[in-house]
């Protein structure tokens, strides 16, 4: 199961590379002008080139195939996922950067390269990537043995830690050694909680928030199953997206998402971040279709439309309504 979850990083990476090569990312309007990112494409191409050299022929073939036939709906989804997290990060950091120090912990980081632009923009930031050991080893090698990354990545403020997220106490112990518990801390779980068992995920959330209780932000992106009848009675019983997703992932790659159908709507997904009675926490959640319709400007939508012919608006809506972005601030 661990290996199967680790392989999902290749999916995320291929999606990201497809979106970069088709021009969805970076967004000039949002990532460059607002967040201040630079060299986004170069950084990603460089990493992609070196990771491909380290992969077996089969994995290479798989990635190349998915790059060639990247559907617009998938590229839109990758764009939305990336942009929405970058923007929440940017908003929080701009409001909490006064006291000079901020730390980010990316739980289940995979091949994500956000730390490079962020660390170069914010000289008082420290950044910690956590994932399974093989993922961390590979990432460490690729970054460490490269002249290019040696120049763009401030190694003194960046750490790669290997740990299994289902062992919350190990995660905490590792983090305690390398972080300042009194400083504002951002946790990112981008398609990470969905692979954990319900109890393990809840313990991870609760213990991290309690440990860093002074100030923090948790950004989480995950699929939600949809369907069923929620407390508000608004859920669509005919919505079978989650059920089909579960069986497709099971059949094609034996991948399990234990809580997909449990936290099937925005309310139930948010409830996991409100389990600590003595922490005052402000939880916001949007599905990514809402994010697309409300947060993306008309100019930006126009730009996206020019990249590939998006014929599948309804399908985009169905899919993106089943992914959520949560930001919980305390």
Q: Which residues bind another protein (CB under 8 A)?
A: 8, 11-12, 14-15, 62, 65-66, 68-72, 74, 77-78, 81, 191, 223, 238-241, 243-245, 248-249, 251-253, 255, 305, 308-315, 318-319, 323
Q: Which is nearer to another protein, 178 or 313 (CB)?
A: 313
Q: Is 81 annotated as a binding residue?
A: yes
Question: What DSSP line would sit under 224-247, residue for residue?
Answer: ----S--TTS-S-TT--HHHHHHH
Q: Which is nearer to another protein, 252 or 280 (CB)?
A: 252
Shortest separation between residue 83's beta carbon and another protein, angstroms = 13
**Helix/strand/coil percent split, the chain, to 5:** 55, 15, 30
**Pick 15 or 205: Cβ nearer another protein:** 15
The nearest distance, CB 175 to another protein, in angstroms, is: 25
Tell me how far, at minimum, the Cβ of 48 lies from another protein, in Å.
16
Q: How far apart are CA 201 and CA 23, in angstroms?
A: 35
Nearest residue to 139 (alpha-carbon basis) of 153, 126, 125: 153
- Is 164 among the annotated ligand-binding positions? yes
Each as own residue / partner, the long-range contacts of residues 60-63 (CB below 8 Å, 24 or more positions apart, any chain) are: 62/10, 62/14, 63/10, 63/13, 63/14, 63/17
108 known ligand binder = yes
Helix (H), strand (E) at residue 205: helix 198-211
Please say which residue, 102 or 191, places its beta carbon nearer to another protein: 191
Closest CB 312 distance from another protein, rounded Å: 8
Task: Identify which of 137, 144, 189 has the alpha carbon closest to the alpha carbon of residue 165.
Answer: 189
CB of 94 to another protein, least distance (A): 27
Pick out the residues of the known binding site for S-adenosyl-L-methionine: 81, 108, 164-165, 190
């Amino acid at each position: 199961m661990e290996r199967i979850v680790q392989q999902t990083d290749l999916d995320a990476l291929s999606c990201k590379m497809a979106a970069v090569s088709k021009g969805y990312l970076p967004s000039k309007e949002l990532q460059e002008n607002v967040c201040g990112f630079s060299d986004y494409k170069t950084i990603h191409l460089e990493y992609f080139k070196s990771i491909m050299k380290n992969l077996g022929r089969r994995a290479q073939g798989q990635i190349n195939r998915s790059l060639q036939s990247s559907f617009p709906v998938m590229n839109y989804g990758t764009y939305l996922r990336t942009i929405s997290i970058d923007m929440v990060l940017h908003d929080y950091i701009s409001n909490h950067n006064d006291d000079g120090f901020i730390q980010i912990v990316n739980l289940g980081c995979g091949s994500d390269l956000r730390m490079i632009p962020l660390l170069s923009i914010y000289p008082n930031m420290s950044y910690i990537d956590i994932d399974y050991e093989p993922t961390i080893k590979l990432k460490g090698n690729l970054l460490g043995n490269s002249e290019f990354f040696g120049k763009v990545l401030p190694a003194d403020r960046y750490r790669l830690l290997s740990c299994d997220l289902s062992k919350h106490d190990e995660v905490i112990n590792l983090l305690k050694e390398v972080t300042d518990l009194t400083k504002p801390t951002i946790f990112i779980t981008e398609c990470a909680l969905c692979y954990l068992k319900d109890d393990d995920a809840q313990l991870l959330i609760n213990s991290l928030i309690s440990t860093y209780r002074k100030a923090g932000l948790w950004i989480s992106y995950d699929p939600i199953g949809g369907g069923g009848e929620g407390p508000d009675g608004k859920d669509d019983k005919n919505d079978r997206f989650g059920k089909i997703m579960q069986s497709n992932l099971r059949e094609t790659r034996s991948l399990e998402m234990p809580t997909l159908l449990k936290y099937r709507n925005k309310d139930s997904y948010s409830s996991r971040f409100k389990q600590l009675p003595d922490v005052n926490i402000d939880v916001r959640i949007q599905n990514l279709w809402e994010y697309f319709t409300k947060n993306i400007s008309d100019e930006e939508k126009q730009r996206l439309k020019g990249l590939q012919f998006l014929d599948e608006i309804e399908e985009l809506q169905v899919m993106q309504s089943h992914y959520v972005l949560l930001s919980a601030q305390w």
